[in-house]
Amino acid sequence: MHEDDSANALLPGSRLERYELLCPLAKGGMASVWIARQLGKHGFEKIVAIKTILPQFSSDPRFRRMFLDEAHIAAGIEHPNVAQILDLGEQRDLLYIAMEYVDGDALSRLSRAAERKDLAVPTGIVLRILADACGGLHAAHELRGRDGQLLGVVHRDVSPQNVLVSTKGVAKIIDFGVAKARDRLAEDTNAGVLKGKIQYMAPEQAVGKPIDRRADVWAVGAMLYAMLAGKPPFDGPNQLATLHRLTSGKPPMPLPPSVPKPITDVVRAVLTHDPDRRIPTALDLQHALEEAMNRTGLGATHTEVAAFLREHLADRAAARKQAIDLALAAAAERARVAQVLAMPASDSASGVSHPAVTSTQDIPSLHDFIAPQSEPPTAHGGTDAEKPIPIEVVEPATSPRPRWPIVAGAAAALVIAGVVAGAVRGRASPPTPSAPERATPSSPEPMNTAATPASAVVEVVTAAASATAPATAAPTPDPAPAPATSVTSASTTSGSAAKPKASAATTAAPKPSTWKKIDDGF
């Protein structure tokens, strides 16, 4: 993978402008699909699906044109049986499409789930799903340009994989990635390349002839045949053999006798090699399927389709819900921590924002939040215990503020006051008889304990000693009277006993750290 590709690699929590990726949903040969949430002002959010071109193709002009074509074509289709296109964007050369999130599964997965239980999808369920699909296809086929002319849209890949069945029982057509249209940016320049799945491909499409909406009509008929017979209408041991049978001009094998005649007649009218003899439009096919349901009494409602989906794919629905719930919880935690750190959790203006890719406006990742740091950073990027820090607001209200500056200041004041008072009293008192007065007036005078109580002197000296490491020795005083000597001895003894207390008062305890709390929380 190129350096640019790795930079655009997507992860849960990545941001594509106003969309935050939550968890991956599917991945194909050209694109990946994510469940995401659209973020807006005043707390607005909406679950959507985000389809992104794979990073390794993001710089390929051909793939980019195909991706853009899909967005432009599908965006114009407004129908309840087509997954809606909401937005098209690009960030750091990475194209993405925001789409309606359809909570459900593909028809192919529903069919396989039934097969694993040796069951077939009931005929009524099949007819309801495919009739819905016809409605969506007809809306696509009728898409017109600004000039009012038909765009000639052909899906070209109508298959069970591209029919989603929602948990509400509604079928929706998806993936117009290889759709044909009049004003496509990407021209069909790859001669001999088949676009679509051979098992459901119309004969004229398989041999490279011009196609129109009737190719999609054939594909719906091929799906109906496969769901009723248990295999595609033209099936071989490999794709080449399948292609040979498809283009041979022979009709498919008859459907099982259990299939009612009205339904068999519809299949026969669709799977006709000559497009001119085929049911012409998806709307006509929808009407034919509805009539067959009425005539056979095998119709199904959306509620019944939803019930069948829950019966056979409930585990997948539960897994999707759990994945979304967990992803939303993680996203909420990221936003909470970002708010605590006073770092914006939204409004990323440039760059794919995620833990692995950073820009000046990216959301911080969880890795950033729990990274070990000796001290919280200041606004200038360094560390400074005396300056307010951005995360000060999250400290417990009862946390004591460091008191050592106050204690140190008081200690210094008491020391100065004691020295001054002692000097004044020393000069005012007569010389002690037992100690003759020295001739040198500049010599330091012994401290008079009458000015400062011994306990206060001990407390101050001890505090000052603890605040200054290593302790510096004071100048040796001149010989003092016996009482002064006893006070000095008492001061030394008391200072030794009081040292632990002074250490606790002058050494600030570590600040209750938000970083530690975050580390414990994750």
491 within some domain? yes
Choose from 1-5, 66-70, 182-186 the range with maximum mean pLDDT.
66-70
Give the burial string for 364-376 (b: 16+ CB within 10 Å, else e): bbeeebbeeeeeb
**Domain shared by 318 and 175, yes or no:** yes
Position 338 scores a pLDDT of 83
CB within 8 A of 446, min separation 6: which ones? Answer: 422, 426, 477, 478, 480, 481, 484
Percent of the chain with pLDDT over 70: 62
Segments of 439-485 assigned E as strands: none
389 within some domain? no
**Domain shared by 288 and 412, yes or no:** no
Residue pair 391/342 in contact by the 8 Å Cβ criterion:
yes
pLDDT in tens, 425-448: 544 444 444 444 444 444 444 444
SS3 label, residue 32: strand
354 within some domain? no
**Domain shared by 275 and 156, yes or no:** yes
| Helix/strand number for the chain, H first, E second | 15, 9
pLDDT in tens, 351-364: 555 543 333 334 33
137 within some domain? yes
**Domain shared by 293 and 146, yes or no:** yes
Which structure tokens are listed for 150?
Answer: 């038909």
Q: Does residue 478 surpass a pLDDT of 90? A: no
Q: Does residue 34 surpass a pLDDT of 80? A: yes
Residue pair 345/339 in contact by the 8 Å Cβ criterion:
yes
* Structural domain for 422, as ranges: 372-379+401-426+446-468+485-522
Instruction: Tell me, letter by letter, the H, E, C secondary structure of 137-157.
Output: HHHHHCCECCCCCECCCECCC
**Domain shared by 66 and 214, yes or no:** yes
What mean pLDDT is reported for the chain?
75
> What DSSP string describes 387-447?
S--GGGGGS-TTPPPP-HHHHHHHHHHHHHHHHHHHHHHHHHSPPPTTSPPPS-TTSPPPP
DSSP letter assigned to residue 16: E
Quote the Cα angle for 80-82-87, to 5°: 105
Of residues 397 and 83, more confidence is placed in: 83
Which structure tokens are listed for 441?
Answer: 């007036």
Which of 160-169, 271-280, 370-379 shows the lowest mean pLDDT across its residues? 370-379
Give the pLDDT band (50/70/90) at residue 174: very high
The structure's pTM equals 0.65
Q: Does residue 132 surpass a pLDDT of 50? A: yes
Q: Does residue 518 surpass a pLDDT of 70? A: no
Cα→Cα distances 349→19, 40, 86, Å: 12, 14, 20
61 within some domain? yes
411 within some domain? yes
Which of 39-53, 83-97, 408-422 shows the lowest mean pLDDT across its residues? 408-422
CB within 8 A of 482, min separation 6: which ones? Answer: 434
Question: How crowded is the C-beta side of 169, counted as CA atoms within 13 Å?
Answer: 16
Residue 169 has phi, psi (to 5 degrees) of 85, 15
231 within some domain? yes
**Domain shared by 309 and 405, yes or no:** no
Residue 278 has phi, psi (to 5 degrees) of -85, 155
Q: What is the largest CA-CA distance in the chain?
A: 139
CB within 8 A of 399, min separation 6: which ones? Answer: 511, 512
pLDDT in tens, 111-123: 999 999 999 999 9
Q: Does residue 374 surpass a pLDDT of 60? A: no
**Domain shared by 419 and 287, yes or no:** no
Which structure tokens are listed for 35?
Answer: 């469940």
Position 5 scores a pLDDT of 52
Please give the positions annotated as active site. 157
**Domain shared by 288 and 417, yes or no:** no
pLDDT in tens, 479-508: 444 444 443 444 444 444 444 444 443 333
- Find the CATH number of the domain harbouring 55: 1.10.510.10
DSSP letter assigned to residue 61: H
Percent of the chain with pLDDT over 90: 51
Nearest-10 Cα torsion for 133, 135, 141, 144: -140
Among 488, 414, 330, residue whose Cα is nearest residue 12:
330
Position 406 scores a pLDDT of 47
Residue pair 96/50 in contact by the 8 Å Cβ criterion:
yes
Of residues 505 and 419, more confidence is placed in: 419
Give the pLDDT band (50/70/90) at residue 204: very high
Count of domains observed in the chain:
2
**Domain shared by 276 and 416, yes or no:** no
Question: How crowded is the C-beta side of 123, counted as CA atoms within 13 Å?
Answer: 21
Give the strand order in the sheet containing 104-106.
Answer: 104-106, 163-166, 171-173
The region, left, alpha or beta by phi > 0 then psi within -120 to 50, assigned to residue 111 is alpha
Element (H, E) at 285: helix 282-296
Position 192 scores a pLDDT of 53
Among 100, 127, 200, residue whose Cα is nearest residue 157:
200
Q: Mean pLDDT over residues 251-273, rounded?
A: 96
Position 353 scores a pLDDT of 56
Quote the Cα angle for 55-58-64, to 5°: 140
**Domain shared by 30 and 178, yes or no:** yes
DSSP letter assigned to residue 249: -
280 within some domain? yes
Question: How crowded is the C-beta side of 281, counted as CA atoms within 13 Å?
Answer: 12
Q: Mean pLDDT over residues 448-475, rounded?
A: 41
Q: Mean pLDDT over residues 222-248, rounded?
A: 94
**Domain shared by 23 and 115, yes or no:** yes
Q: Mean pLDDT over residues 233-261, rounded?
A: 93
Position 108 scores a pLDDT of 96
Dist. CA 468–CA 414, nearest whole Å: 16
